Chains A and B, each alone.
Chain A
């Protein structure tokens, strides 16, 4: 099945990818971002936050975006 996938790692990605039926959110995260920690990202499906075991469906739009972007003066 086809889903839309958005993330910022590497050169960044915002396009459709083919995934297997029944793939969960955490499966997708581990497949697409193998060296990253899930707790450092906000994972949403169709703009809604989801649990790690949520199963993806045809046409879903998954975004994995960084969290805790903070700066501070010296």
Chain B
């Protein structure tokens, strides 16, 4: 996969040489053309076409942003109430992900879901300890969201 990205960069730089224009827009158009070349020649590479991974990454980023927006709105609602009436607490969640990268991504995503921050990770048992703003409500939200995140992360890493 790294080889494909390297090829794509080389094509983009050659494109910049051919145009004799050294700015970001030329680089991006050259990169796009190189992307099409590599897509057309994808069956000659031994590994999976890296575009599929890129699509999975883009999906993950959109998931990130939508979670961030909904959680910010939730925090804003709780903060602007006339009396603050929350029952925070710490609960634990078990995860099926394995590598360091996957768990890092999952905990960043959970930190951005409505009303939850990861406090501690026990790597041996693969348990995340999560601090939630409003226990019954947030716990249900996290458990529901976790499966979605794990699927999206596995699409990228496997």
Query: Do A and B originate from a single complex?
Result: no
Residues of A within 8 A of B (CB): none
